[in-house]
Amino acid sequence: MKGTLRREPVAAVLGLLGLLVSLVVTIRSGDVPPLRDQATFAAVAAFALAIVLGEWFHLAAPGFRGGAPIAMAAAFGLALTTEMPAGEELPYGPAFVLSVTAASMALGATVRVVAGRETSIVETTGRFVAILVATLVYRVAVLGQNPATPVPDEIPEPWQHALLLLGICMLALVTDALFTSVMRVLSAAVSLRRTFVEEFRSSFALSMAVAVTGVLIALAAPPLGVAALPLFLMPLVLTLFAFRRYVSIRATYLQSIRTLSRLTDAAGYTPAGHSERVAALSVRVGRELGLSERELLDLEYAALLHDIGQVALVEPIPGGATVLAAPADQRRIEADTVAIVRETGVFEGVAKILEHQTTPYRQVRELGEEIPMTSRIVKVVNAYEDLTAGARSTRARDAAVERIYLGLGYEYDPRVVDALLKSIGNAAETG
């Protein structure tokens, strides 16, 4: 998509710039520990390996913000750890920490790309920005450490130290969410404040676990050494496997919904594949409009089930095109659809979307009625699919768009229609 193409190069340039600047500062300042120091080498190698592996074992699922909790926790540990057993100080400064972190994250992301795994440069760069903030705040602002200089001896009380480190990690994670939000705003005309709140809310629980793990690694390194790294990363590893199990269950769940959505196709009420086409295009339009992952998941479910109420009709609508039906018939199908969805007891969010899928957009302008953006998307995309009847020719597309334009601002939200046109254009270019 063009929105993604606009923001990914920006993040890639920022990430590459961060890597190069870190390496240059490290080399010019001499902030490179001696390789003959086996304890230091083992610690750096362990942290670097954990970051690379953490980037490989990426965490992502529909409705959730992607992340690499193992990599982030290990990187926080590297940034906040200044001492090993027997009071031995780690002989490197902030520049070296950032160089190791950037190189490890870049290596992990590159391996994922080579292996054909889905990789977000925005998310990877956001993680590096978080570590940059944590390193500068703790090592430079708090400790006053410069490249290639030892850590000052003034260390606060243990409980104060722990709270300080936790606060720094949370500040860094907020910065990560803010960076990701700004990148999303670059790709869609959405509110930065709303996007940031959604980003932070969707990742808050996992962010807390990552921050606490990073702090525990740093606090446990003086008595335990490198052993603190696998010891405190293990809960995150188990969480990762549990989350992947959850993702597998959700995939099965979505497949069940897809099967249910085909009921109208099998009964001859709608053309074959209509609901799946509406769902796929609705998600693309939603991404153009900057919807969050959780909103996109509910949107996909709603689009798949938007016509299920047609099974209550005595006589099918010709071609299943509800956009050509009388308004009263559209509302009756909508009511039956909502009733069926609510019978499941687990789709309340989806039901709220479907409650307004036939509501004209003019009621937003003239009456101030609250109609979810997701409902407006389903209405526009369903109209487009009904009018094209699944055809992908230029003639069919232009005729459908012309018909939708007749109801622009009255039946259909102009913003959604613009996003639809962009999505169709992008699909035509890539197809």
Give the C-alpha separation, 267 to 300, whole Å: 22
Range list of β-strands (E), 135-230: none
Domain assignments of the chain as residue spans, ordered by start: 2-249, 263-430
CA 36 to chain centre: 42
Which pLDDT score is estimated for 229? 92
Give the C-alpha separation, 363 to 45, whole Å: 61
Backbone angles phi, psi at 154, to 5 degrees: -75, 95
Quickly list DSSP for 123-162: HHHHHHHHHHHHHIIIIIIIS---TT-PPPS----HHHHH
- Model-level pTM? 0.71
Write a three-state SS string for 266-330. HCCCCCCCHHHHHHHHHHHHHHHCCCCHHHHHHHHHHHHHCCHHHHHCCCCCHHHCHHHCCHHHH
**Amino acid in the structure at residue 50:** A
Phi-psi region of 191 (alpha: psi -120 to 50; beta: other; left: phi over 0): beta
- Which of the four CATH numbers 1.10.3210.10, 1.10.390.10, 1.20.120.720, 3.20.20.70 does domain 263-430 have? 1.10.3210.10
Which pLDDT score is estimated for 5? 40
R_g of the chain computed on alpha carbons: 26
Which residues, 6 or more positions from 32, have their beta carbon under 8 angstroms from its beta carbon?
Answer: 26, 92, 96
Give the C-alpha separation, 352 to 342, whole Å: 10
pLDDT 10s digit of each residue in the chain, 431 long?
Answer: 444 444 566 666 776 777 777 777 777 777 777 766 777 888 899 999 999 999 888 876 665 666 889 999 999 999 999 888 877 788 888 888 999 999 999 898 888 888 888 777 888 888 999 999 999 999 888 888 765 555 555 666 778 889 999 999 999 999 998 888 888 777 666 667 777 777 777 778 788 889 999 999 999 998 998 899 999 999 888 888 888 887 777 777 778 788 878 888 887 788 888 888 999 899 989 888 878 777 888 898 899 988 888 888 777 787 777 887 888 888 888 888 888 888 776 677 888 888 888 888 888 767 777 888 999 999 999 999 888 877 778 888 888 889 999 888 888 989 999 989 888 876 655 55
In residues, how long is the chain? 431
Which pLDDT score is estimated for 3? 41
CA 326 to chain centre: 40
Give the C-alpha separation, 252 to 382, whole Å: 25
Unique residue bearing structure tokens 């850590």: 151
Which pLDDT score is estimated for 149? 57
Which pLDDT score is estimated for 431? 54
Q: Is 240 helix (H, G, I), strand (E, B) or coil?
A: helix
Give the C-alpha separation, 40 to 84, whole Å: 9
Quickly count: other Cβ atoms within 10 Å of residue 132's Cβ: 22
Give the C-alpha separation, 245 to 349, whole Å: 23
Which pLDDT score is estimated for 231? 93
Do the bridges between strand 83-84 and strand 88-89 make them parallel or antiparallel, or are there none, so unpaired? Answer: antiparallel
